Amino acid sequence: MTELDRPRTASSAEILLQASGLHTYYGASHILHGVDFHIRQGEAIGLMGRNGMGKTTLIRSLLGHVQPRQGCVNWRGAEVTQAAPHRIARLGAAYVPEGRGIFPNLSVKENLVMAARSGPDGRRDWTYERIMDTFPRLAERLDHMGGQLSGGEQQMLTIGRALLTNPQLLILDEATEGLAPLIARDIWQIIRTIRATGIATVIVDKNFGAVRDLADRCVVMVKGSVVFDDAAGRLTGEVVQKYLGV
């Protein structure tokens, strides 16, 4: 049994995912500058920043899609800095990327069932039937190909597929990007439902007000560094204008 596979006690599991001193590069471009980040079990975090500030690079560094040159990432106290993305996913992290990443030539049902598995603790809180109840739009389109869905339906499909892995952490990058207001409202309601079940969530979206209303804590990035990390209620209009205003 490796360190990654060894079960953790409840006391050591309070901090689910933690990064310390991350420096990440794309070629010669230095993107993350010593970033510290953590999320506790069941916590909802709004990850904010203007375009190009390093949010997606931070997510990719946490999940093993890109390797930081310095710093470390820990999952429940076990270092996973060099772990492959599929290993981190198996530990309980699910990712809804910008662009969604569905399989356009598979049906809605096929996109869903291919991902279904029990969580790392053996639990199956999220079943196919529960997904159908949570996403009635998908239940009406099970035989449609993924590429035939609207943008909002594709986002629901991607979230549903992620939930069927029964994760302990769900990361949503640009949760409502490009969606019509009514569909975006549905997505926000779905995220509220998810976080109420105790799944830790990291939410990236340009609707800062909606993110702040959902989050326990907000983290703001500017040019690859964290400039604000505090309770969501302390994200004042002044902070928003200074770091997030267009």
Q: C-alpha distances in angstroms, 176 versus 153, 185, 198?
A: 11, 9, 21
The candidate with the shortest Cα–Cα distance to 185, out of 199, 197, 175, 198, is: 175
- Mention every residue, 6+ apart, whose C-beta is less than 8 A from residue 79: 3, 72, 73
Distance from C-alpha of 237 to C-alpha of 40, rounded to nearest angstrom = 26
Tell me if 167 sits within 8 A of 94, measured CB to CB: yes
Is the pTM higher than 0.75? yes
Whole-number pLDDT of residue 246: 58
Look over the chain and give the mean of its residue pLDDT values, rounded to a whole number.
91
In order of start, what are the domains of the chain with their CATH numbers?
Answer: 44-53+85-243 (3.40.50.300)
Return the minimum-mean-pLDDT range out of 63-72, 98-107, 166-175, 199-208. 98-107
Tell me if 94 sits within 8 A of 163, measured CB to CB: yes
Return the minimum-mean-pLDDT range out of 51-60, 62-71, 73-82, 94-103. 94-103
Task: Give the E-state strand segments of the chain in sequence order.
Answer: 15-26, 29-40, 44-48, 70-75, 78-79, 93-96, 169-173, 200-204, 217-222, 225-231
At residue 1 the predicted structure's pLDDT band, cuts being 50, 70 and 90, is: very low
Residue 156 above 60 pLDDT? yes
- Mention every residue, 6+ apart, whose C-beta is less than 8 A from residue 242: none
- What end-to-end distance do the CA atoms of the chain give, in Å? 50
Pick left, alpha or beta for residue 21 (phi over 0 → left; psi -120 to 50 → alpha; otherwise beta): left
Residue predicted with more confidence, 72 or 12: 72
pLDDT in tens, 4-32: 443 333 333 489 999 999 999 999 999 99
Beta bridge partners of 15: 40
Estimate the crossing angle of helix 181-196 against helix 151-163, to 10 degrees: 10
Residue 116 above 80 pLDDT? yes
